[in-house]
Structures are given as structure tokens and as C-alpha cells.
Amino acid sequence: MAGHFEATPGGGAAVALDEVEISILRSLAVQLLELIGPGDQPADGEDPLAALFAEGPSKPPTDPALARLFPDAYGGPEGAAGAGKPEEEQELRERSAEFRRFTEMDLRTGKRDDALAVVRTLDALSPAQDGGAVLTLTGDECLSWLRSLNDLRLTIGTRLGVSDEDQGEEGSLYRLPDSDPRKPMVMAYLWLGALQESLVETLMP
């Protein structure tokens, strides 16, 4: 089980993690929470119902990692620029802005909830004498973990300059020398990918 998820009764999964792995996963999840932000909470005296229907931003985040987590629905500026006629480009920009305004806050809430699920399940572990533990997840927790692992890989991949279009890029990451300052981040990126793949395979029928 070490390093690989195995199915558990009821549609869940379990994996053995050592003390270092637990610490790394928790630290990354907390950093993801900080990146996404605390969310919009009603201020003192503010109508909670009005805050619930408050509109989100209409422009993409300036942080590249956040922009990867919350991409434009219609291809962003590049997609709009390739639309053809100026009026078509403008229409795509307006549609992307409108979609973002009414969906990004909910998306952020979902990503925060998933990252919190990772932190809480790790905090609930009962470590053995060597500091390791077996993480056992319910079916719902597995889905939260899958989504959060994907968010973490997208974030780290953006910091490393790895895009969805890069073919064979991960192979070159394996060959980085130990002296490269990106090495720890690369190792985390590759490990998270293996963990995610293991969980996906475990949940497949």
C-alpha cells in the first residue's frame, strides 16, 4: 500500500504515508488555500443574503497560477483574438467576462472546500511510532482529494512553466540535476501526479 492507493469497502481508498509525505501534502494544501484566498464573507452588518448573490470578478486573475485554476470559459484573450472579426472577438470577451462574474466565486468555494478536506483528513490521522499513518478516505473524500491534487499539480506546473500542450515535458523534469533550484518543486509535482494516478486507478470500476 505504501505510496499507492488501494480500494476500501464502500467506495473509498486508503494509502500509507510516511511522516514527511504527510507534512508535504498538508503544507501544499495550506499553500493552495492561501493562494485561492479566504473567500468573501459578509462584513459586520451586511445582509448575508445579499452577499450570497454578490457578483464575482469579470477579469482573469493576474497571478498565472490562479489564471490556470480559473481559466476563461471562451479561451481568454488568445481565443478571442483568433475569433476573426473584431465584433466576434469582442463578443467572446464579453461572454467570458459574464461567465466569470457569475461562476468564479462558486468555483473558488469548491476549490477551498476540497483543499480543506485534504487538510482535515491529514489532521485526523493517528501517526504510528515512526510518524507514518494509513490515510483512509470515504468516497466523497476521494473526490475532494482528486480535485485538490489536480489543482496542486496545475499550480506547481504553472510555476515550473509546464503547460497542457507540452508533450514529453515531464520526462525532461526527471533529468534535472540535483543542483537545480527547481528540483524540490519538480519532485513534488511528479509525486503528486503519481498519487493522483494511483487514486484514479483505484476508483475506476
Average confidence (pLDDT) over 159-178: 68
Give the three-class secondary structure for 125. coil
What pLDDT was estimated at residue 1?
Answer: 44
**pTM of the shown model:** 0.81
Contact assessment for residue 36 and residue 47, using Cβ atoms and an 8 Å cutoff: no
Q: How far is CA 130 from CA 4, 20, 92, in A?
A: 19, 11, 55
Contact assessment for residue 97 and residue 113, using Cβ atoms and an 8 Å cutoff: no
Tens digit of pLDDT for each residue in 34-51?
999 865 454 556 565 555
Query: Closest by alpha carbon to 196, among 124, 139, 134, 143?
Result: 143
Q: Regarding predicted confidence, which is higher, 73 or 38? A: 73
Per-residue pLDDT band at 53 (split at 50, 70, 90): low
Average pLDDT, the chain: 83
Worst-scoring range by mean pLDDT, 55-59, 60-64, 133-137? 55-59
Worst-scoring range by mean pLDDT, 15-19, 78-82, 90-94, 192-196? 78-82
Worst-scoring range by mean pLDDT, 46-50, 63-67, 136-140? 46-50
What pLDDT was estimated at residue 163?
Answer: 64
Q: How far is CA 49 from CA 44, 57, 177, in A?
A: 13, 19, 54
Average confidence (pLDDT) over 82-100: 77
Sheet (strand 12-17) strand order: 6-8, 12-17, 133-137
> Using CA atoms, how far apart are residues 150 and 128, in angstroms rounded to an integer?
28
Q: Regarding predicted confidence, which is higher, 205 or 113? A: 113
**Which DSSP symbol is given to 197?**
H
